[in-house]
């Protein structure tokens, strides 16, 4: 029960890494608001794990503000914010990604972190404590070709995490990130583009431990970083990558 008595928001909590984090958080004693653009998915995960569901578009300010208000109303306060929601473009030469898709990637992967900070950092400051966990990626450390603007958005996330951590430390707020390698989630087909066994094996061959990441790999790391066991850990971007970035 490493998160006993804690409350949390998990964006993108209706599937993939987010759903894995919700499961582990609740098993460790936290009360969780499951936020997702897919309302049915959020409701299903919340129902399974005794949480609260909220539909949210993390790229929309009004929607994020409503999510924060719902969390404070339903949970009493918020201890932990997990900025997990994210998207990618399919593997494409950088100059061929269209402007609308570029804008959407940066809105969901980057602007969302600004919007959730605007909505929840004042609440954390008022309480004198808080914990923010961002979902970055090994793509921001060791980019793969043809995912250029996704890579850049995750590099932004890594820098934002460190900048947030240093600014908010004096307020008792910790900010960390996770850098997963390609994972067994609903986005894997978009990352691969051509989702074939051969393509999967080619990617796995670049991961020394020989497999993709799973939601539970990320969830267990998230439990540690969001627990009091990590009370002196801030500004860290932890690689959960099977050794890919070595």
Give the model's pLDDT for residue 198: 84
Residue 203 lies in a domain: no
Residue 245 lies in a domain: no
Active site residues: 150
Residue 237 lies in a domain: no
Neighbours of 73 (CB within 10 A): 10
Residue 238 lies in a domain: no
Which tens digits make up the pLDDT trace of 177-201? 999 998 877 667 666 766 778 888 9
Q: What is the CATH number of the domain that holds 227?
A: 3.40.50.720
The H-or-E segment that residue 135 falls in is strand 130-135
CB-hemisphere CA count at 13 Å for 38? 15
List C-alpha distances in Å: 38 to 56, 168, 181, 240.
8, 31, 24, 26
Closest CA to 221 of 246, 198, 195, 239: 239
Inter-residue contact 118 to 61 (CB < 8 Å): yes
Residue 209 lies in a domain: no
Closest CA to 70 of 52, 85, 49: 52
> Dihedral (C-alpha) 199, 201, 207, 212: value to the nearest 10 degrees?
80
Please give the residue range of the domain that contains residue 96.
7-181+215-231
The H-or-E segment that residue 225 falls in is helix 215-226
Which tens digits make up the pLDDT trace of 120-177? 999 999 999 999 999 999 999 999 899 999 999 999 999 999 999 999 999 999 999 9
Residue 246 lies in a domain: no
Kindly give the interhelix angle for 215-226 and 16-27, rounded to the nearest 10 degrees.
Answer: 50
Residue 187 lies in a domain: no
User: pLDDT category, 115, cuts 50, 70, 90?
Assistant: very high
In the chain, the number of structural domains is: 1
Give the model's pLDDT for residue 190: 67
Residue 80 lies in a domain: yes
Question: Is the whole-model pTM more than 0.85?
Answer: yes
Average pLDDT over the chain, rounded to whole? 95
């Amino acid at each position: 029960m490493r998160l006993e008595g804690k409350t949390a928001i998990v964006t993108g909590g209706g599937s993939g890494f987010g759903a894995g984090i919700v499961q582990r958080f609740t098993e460790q004693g936290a009360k969780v608001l499951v936020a997702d653009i897919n309302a049915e998915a959020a409701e299903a995960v919340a129902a399974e794990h005794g949480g609260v569901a909220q539909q949210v578009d993390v790229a929309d300010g009004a929607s994020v503000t409503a999510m924060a208000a719902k969390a404070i109303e339903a949970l009493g306060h918020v201890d932990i914010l997990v900025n997990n929601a994210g998207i990618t473009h399919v593997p494409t030469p950088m100059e061929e990604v269209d402007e609308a898709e570029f804008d959407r990637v940066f809105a969901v992967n980057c602007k969302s972190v600004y919007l959730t900070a605007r909505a929840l950092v004042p609440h954390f400051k008022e309480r004198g404590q808080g914990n923010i966990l961002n979902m970055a990626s090994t793509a921001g450390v060791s980019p793969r070709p043809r995912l250029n603007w996704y890579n850049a958005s995750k590099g932004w996330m890594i820098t934002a995490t460190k900048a947030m951590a240093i600014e908010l430390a004096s307020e008792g707020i910790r900010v960390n990130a996770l850098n997963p390698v390609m994972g067994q989630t609903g986005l894997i087909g978009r990352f691969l583009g051509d989702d074939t066994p051969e393509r999967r094996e080619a990617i796995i061959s670049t991961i020394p431990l020989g497999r993709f990441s799973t939601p539970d790999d990320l969830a267990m790391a998230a439990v540690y970083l969001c627990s009091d066991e990590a009370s002196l850990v801030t500004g860290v971007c932890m690689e959960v990558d099977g050794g890919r970035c070595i």
